[in-house]
Homo-oligomer: A and B are copies of this chain.
Amino acid sequence: MTEIASPDVALHLRQQVASREEGHGLPRSFYHDPTIFQAEIEAIWRRGWLLAGHTCQLSKPGDYFTYQVDTDPILIIRDDDGEIRALHNICRHRGMQLCQTEQGHVGRLVCPYHQWVYSRSGELLTCRGMQEEVDKSQLGLLPLHVEVVAGLIYISLANEPPAFEQARELMQPLMQPQGLERAKIAKTVEYTIEANWKLVWENNRECFHCNVNHPQYIKANYDHINADDVSEAVQQEMAATVARSEEKWSSVGLAATHHDTGMATFPDAEQNLWYSANRTTLVEGFVSETLEGRQVAPLMGDYPDADVGTLRLRTMPNFWNHSSCDHGVTTRLTPDGPRKTLAQVTWLVHEDAVEGRDYQLDELMPFWQLTSEQDWDLCAAAQRGVDSRAFKPGPLSTYKEYNLDAFFRWYLRQLSDYCDAA
């Protein structure tokens, strides 16, 4: 379902891609040009793998949730065999949107307009009132590609999506102990960010801005410290936490895999890597990304104790998750035009945890709620600035913005590949 670029569009895109100066940001057209935005929809959002949600949202057959990507209403449902399915959420008769709530449970999928009835895996079962000649076997709900990895549900709108296996190989073993399959959703907050989706990633891909803007986050993490400003004392502290992690956890596969201050490199344009997963130590005294660093909910998954650092997951173009011993936080992005991005932030805890007894939302949520909202404000102010005709992208810090450069190269590769396919 991806539209190929016309020669005019491909020419325009190539010119814009070529106009980026090495080591600098993207030219301003990338933040408002509707042609570029549409090309991104085709080349990235309708081509790659999108995090849709969590398997724990669909605990039994017939449970579903919905997700709108670009123009397309999508239904994610657990079928009678327990498989997760992704289906275009529109009736094959007149195109009616089938399931109209964010989540729910159905025995069969019945179109509210004329009651065509589909099974939970999308087959058309009955269509009362239609003539005999209608071939029901040709009128099942149209499927999308689905992959599930350790409790995460990915979908792709592409006819032939990229391979998923390497992503699974990396993510599955690192994620397994977190137990997201046995989680439940404690809270979901929906945000509208008044910024292009790339500005949200640019913000996510550096911690240069953390010192002043994220007072909570920097107490728990080493991401904001790079080669230019790391001290002997911090280096020793980090080395000590890593050594302790390896000693304690390497035998059970929970040792830290990211050993340095600063962020792990991601994404990778040369190898076209759109996925990332690592385990990182937290600052001494923190066992969870909470305001005080304390555990605030029951241990998740297979964790033997709380001191397991933080699991970080990231997949382009729409997902990241930071998970601690007691909870995980998923952010799912969806573009809504060149200047607007929807973000859904979801807090997960152990499926048996009971709110009020085992955890309190006002202890669970603030760390990432504050950090997220601080970022959305920065993104919106960045959008207002890059809209200016006076905007020319400045130099990136080689110390602190290496991942922006990585992101831009990955992103521009997607556009170039898209033009090559035209």
- A208 CA to B96 CA, complexed, in Å: 14
- Whether A163 is near chain B, meaning CB under 8 Å from some CB there, is no
A228's partner among B129, B397, B400 (CB-CB below 8 A) is B129
- Whether A384 is near chain B, meaning CB under 8 Å from some CB there, is yes
Let me know if B112 and A213 touch, CB within 8 A. yes
Known A378-B113, A390-B1, A391-B95: A384·B73 in contact at CB below 8 Å: yes
Known A73-B384, A90-B385: A397·B113 in contact at CB below 8 Å: no
Could you give, for residues 127-138 of chain A, a 1 whenever the CB lies within 8 Å of some chain B CB and a 0 otherwise?
Answer: 011110010000
Let me know if A389 and B72 touch, CB within 8 A. yes
Report the minimum CB–CB distance from A223 to chain B (whole Å). Answer: 13
A97's partner among B128, B228, B382, B399 (CB-CB below 8 A) is B382
Could you give, for residues 378-395 of chain A, a 1 whenever the CB lies within 8 Å of some chain B CB and a 0 otherwise?
Answer: 100110111111111111
CB-CB under 8 A from A393, the residues of chain B are 94-95
Let me know if B226 and A129 touch, CB within 8 A. yes
Chain A, interface SS category: loop
Let me know if A88 and B390 touch, CB within 8 A. yes
Could you give, for residues 98-119 of chain A, a 1 whenever the CB lies within 8 Å of some chain B CB and a 0 otherwise?
Answer: 1010000000000011110000
- Whether A70 is near chain B, meaning CB under 8 Å from some CB there, is yes
CB-CB under 8 A from A1, the residues of chain B are 389-390
The chain B residue sitting closest to A212, CB to CB, is B115
Copies of the chain in the assembly: 3
CB-CB under 8 A from A397, the residues of chain B are 114, 129-131
Report the minimum CB–CB distance from A305 to chain B (whole Å). Answer: 36
- Whether A209 is near chain B, meaning CB under 8 Å from some CB there, is yes
- A25 CA to B90 CA, complexed, in Å: 14
Q: Contact size class for A? A: 35 or more
Let me know if B212 and A382 touch, CB within 8 A. no
Known A212-B115, A388-B90: A95·B131 in contact at CB below 8 Å: no
The chain B residue sitting closest to A386, CB to CB, is B95
The chain B residue sitting closest to A88, CB to CB, is B390
Could you give, for residues 326-343 of chain A, a 1 whenever the CB lies within 8 Å of some chain B CB and a 0 otherwise?
Answer: 000000000000000000
Let me know if B399 and A129 touch, CB within 8 A. yes
- Whether A229 is near chain B, meaning CB under 8 Å from some CB there, is yes
Taking CB atoms and an 8 Å cut-off, the chain A residues in 117-172 that contact chain B are 128-131, 134, 139, 142
Could you give, for residues 248-259 of chain A, a 1 whenever the CB lies within 8 Å of some chain B CB and a 0 otherwise?
Answer: 000000000000
Known A202-B94, A381-B96, A387-B71: A114·B395 in contact at CB below 8 Å: no
Q: Which 4 A-B pairs have the closest CB atoms?
A: A90-B385, A88-B390, A95-B385, A95-B386
A-B contact pairs, 8 of them (CB 8 A): A72-B389, A73-B385, A73-B388, A91-B385, A94-B202, A95-B391, A96-B382, A112-B381
Residues of A in contact with B (beta carbons under 8 Å apart): 1, 25, 28, 70-73, 88-98, 100, 112-115, 128-131, 134, 139, 142, 202, 208-209, 211-213, 226, 228-229, 378, 381-382, 384-395, 397-400
